Structure 1
Amino acid sequence: MKDKKEYRSLLDQHLREEKKYLSSLHLREIQDNDIDATIVLEQNINLHDDTIEVADTFVDRYENKYNTRCWTLSSGTDVSEILAKYIKTVPEEQKCLNPVYWGILDLTGDHLETKALFSSEDWSEMVDNFEQEVKLSQAKISDAVYHFFDEVHQIVLKNNHNPIMKIMMEIDMFFPEEIEKKYGITLSTEEKHNISVLKHVIVTYIENLKDIDLPVSESEFGNSFPNMLMRKLLDHKEVKIDVGEVCWELCARVGRRCDFRGILKHSIDNLEAIVGLRSEKEIDNVQKPEIDDILHQTFVLGVHSWGWTHDVYGMDCKATNICRLGRLYRTKMPNNIRTIACLEEFYTIMLDVKTTLKDICEHVNGIALSHARVYRNRKRKNQ
């Protein structure tokens, strides 16, 4: 027991030193990129004395020498100050397990100690502000998809007392042309492709559900259900998907892991825009997905599945040392054959996630392009 405590103490000390190093490194990166110029993409902006116009749509705005950003609520509450005071009261052996120590403001309400730091009015304002600024993009979903899930439900009902293999065969043998004939519509090539993908996903899901022998390990469950769905429903042309014991170096040292990671292939920074965690039950906040952002006004996604529940989270950098974490959507995965058509909700949310990832990629690349252009225009101005 003594050796265990000494090891834990040594680990905590190492993590604190590493956090200081990472924080200073992150600060230097921000200063290198932003202290010289912060790009604001606006049309017809009113210029002030502290700005220099460098292009029609680019404004070179100088920050103060410390390059800090504050978040002050309408009540006058300085969020950074509240969190800074709170973390000083947390025992040393608990700090590395506390979300505030890592600069995370959990707005899901699950971390009760964080919520208790603010008045109900301040808390509501922070949650409302997060919900306005961080949200999933809405994907367009064709009627063909809804018709397909209706047909899947009818197949399940019709074969209620038949072997599961018969249900799988009927779904597998269902073709988009049947939707065209029944509903009097013409499907596009993309719609037919989407239905083909969905057929394969549902048949695989049913097969995994049929063969599951509870209890199973978290990794086995994740690979059979949430990870399988994410791999098949996200766009592999846009996102490089890693599944399994994919560990971030820092997460591994504190005993955490990320079971799913999606890297935007076409972003200039190779941004890890979505990560996920699998657990047997709902866990407290400090073990939720460790997700971070690299640019102001950019948010990233995290997913967490526990039991048959699947949560989608968003995180952005609201101010210096404040990364806001909030739950964007919660859905249930089918736990039996009769409810297999409930995958419709999961599918539509994944379409929103896929669209959001594409928007994040364009946003990140747009900011990188803005930085490149501001230096180009400054050079022209000085010539």
Structure 2
Amino acid sequence: GNEKERSSFSVEKSTGSRQTHNNSKRKLGNQSDYTDYEGLALLFDESNEEALMESIDEKTLAEEDKLPLMREEGRSQYMREDVVEAFRKYQSRIPKTRRAYTPAYWGVFDLTKESLYGCKEFTEDDLQQLSQDFADHIKWKPESVTKNVEDYFDSNCEKVDNDQELRKFDRHVQFMKVNMNSFQQMLPEEQLKMTSSFPLFHGAFNSSRIKDVWGETQALSTNDARNEKANPFKKARMGRKVDMKATLAKTSNKFEVIYGEVVGGLGPLGIPMACRKKRFLDKVKLMIIMRDSINRLLNECKHVSEKTRTSLIVYGWLQVGLELNFYAMDWSGSGIYRFGLIDRCRIPADEDDCFMLEDAYCILKSLENKSLETETTVKQLFSENTK
């Protein structure tokens, strides 16, 4: 069907009736071809980047909102029928010229609110409520640290005890320290990545069940998405690469649970090179890659309860200069993917500020644990699918 590439499945066991579902499917069909390989080619072909950025009006981009704190008693719930209808209406009103870089066009509900310019279908209160529901599902909170780890950061990463994991992290921090003076001057993207986020992730992640790959690396999920139509000429020009991806090594399909993008290097005085538009464009690409990862798995597991399908969560991060933003996405049924900003931190540019790394450490430890929770969900999907 026309909506295939964008949402990849219809809701077989949705709370809405079959009739409503067919209606919304029909409405979608009228909107234009959501398979939209051209739209994807436009987004992911670097030669188009300048032209695309030209067409983005910076005034339409809002500051990103972080998701609210989760409520302990909050329970995850399906998208209500009226929310789905309102989202469909908003989708249908996206001007043709803005489609390729508007997340909602791709089925992504951007709860950072950055891209919701001109969206009259949801009030501020609606969005707040939807963000809260999403936060209650993600259940994100940074790890709290033990006394020895706290002491380590208090000593500005100079006094390390015999804790093996901490010693491993410290070796990576020392490597970062050696390079920190270069964070105050011009630095190409590759070098920034390999001297900041790379050692940080590598030092903090310890699980052998998570395998991270760095450098321009192909996102598998998008590979599948483009090859569904098996047109060999389209294939080559639509490869979608990320700067980092983390794979769950113990899942049968080597599920890709985290994607990361470094958006440009550093300019004079260590100021980020990437303009606002470039940052936004990379974020939209990240959303589509995260969405495709969910799609790829749910396409393999068609015979699974709605509850298990909607419990799948994937993560992404963007680095702009020395700032790191962390995102989460789930599929909430009805071809809608919720996306939100779960946390952010900053990498210090001076050896004397290494205590600041405690934030990053806590976030990454939590991200590692959340990825392992996703591993459990992925395994559950496969086992339910074969029953």
TM range (shorter): 0.5 to 0.7
Report the Cα offset of residue 89 of structure 1: 2.6
* Partner secondary structure for residue 9 of structure 2: helix
Matches of 1:303 and 1:127, distance apart in 2: 18
- The counterpart of 2:254, out of the listed 250, 254, 270, is 270
Distance between the aligned counterparts of 1:70 and 1:325, measured in 2?
15
Shift of 1:208: 1.6
Equivalent residue of 2:252, what SS? Answer: coil
| TM-superposition CA deviations, 1:254-303 (whole Å, max 9, x none) | 79642110011112332111001111445225344431224322111111
Instruction: After TM superposition, list the pairs within 5 Å mapping 1:225-236 onto structure 2.
Output: 225-235=196-206
**1:347–1:140: structure 2 CA closer, same or farther, 3 Å change rule?**
same
The verdict on how the C-alpha distance between 1:217 and 1:175 changes in structure 2, with shifts beyond 3 A counting, is: closer
The CA deviation at 1:139 is 4.0
Q: CA contact under 8 A between 2:247 and 2:258: conserved in structure 1? A: yes
Aligned pairs for 1:79-228 (under 5 A) are: 79-113=83-117, 116-136=120-140, 139=143, 141-152=145-156, 171=158, 174-176=159-161, 192-212=163-183, 214-228=185-199
Higher relative contact order (CA 8 A, sep 6+): 2
Distance 2:152 2:180 in 1: 20
**TM-score, normalisation: structure 1:** 0.67
Query: SS of the counterpart of 2:380?
Result: helix
Partner of 1:303: helix, strand, or coil?
Answer: strand
Q: What SS class does the counterpart of residue 332 from structure 2 fall into? A: strand
Larger C-alpha radius of gyration, 1 or 2? 1
Structure 1 residues 175 and 349: alpha-carbon distance in aligned structure 2, compared to 1, 3 A threshold: closer
Post-superposition CA distance 1:161-181 (Å, at most 9, x none): xxxxxxxxxx4xx5526xxxx
Partners of 2:184 and 2:337 in 1: CA distance = 40
Further displaced range: 211-220 or 196-205: 211-220
In structure 2, stretches of 5+ residues that fail to align are: 26-76, 227-235, 265-273, 299-308
**For residues 160 and 123 of structure 2, what CA distance do their matches in structure 1 show?**
56
CA contact 1:205–1:225 (8 Å) conserved in 2 = yes
Distance in 1, matches of 2:96 and 2:237, equals 17
Identical aligned residues as a percent: 19
CA contact (8 A) 2:109 2:337 kept: yes
Q: Which residue of 2 aligns with 1:327?
A: 341
Return the alpha-carbon distance in structure 2 between the equivalents of residues 365 and 135 of structure 1: 20
Alignment match, 1:166: none
Q: Measure how far apart 1:146 and its partner are.
A: 0.7
Contact 2:156–2:353 under 8 Å retained in 1: no
CA contact (8 A) 2:314 2:328 kept: yes
Name the structure 2 match of 1:304.
318
Q: Given the two structures, how large is their TM-score scaled by the length of structure 2?
A: 0.66
The corresponding residue for 1:354 is 368
In 2, the alpha carbon distance for the partners of 1:114 and 1:226 equals: 35
Aligned residues: 290
Q: Distance in 1 between matches of 2:178 and 2:116?
A: 40
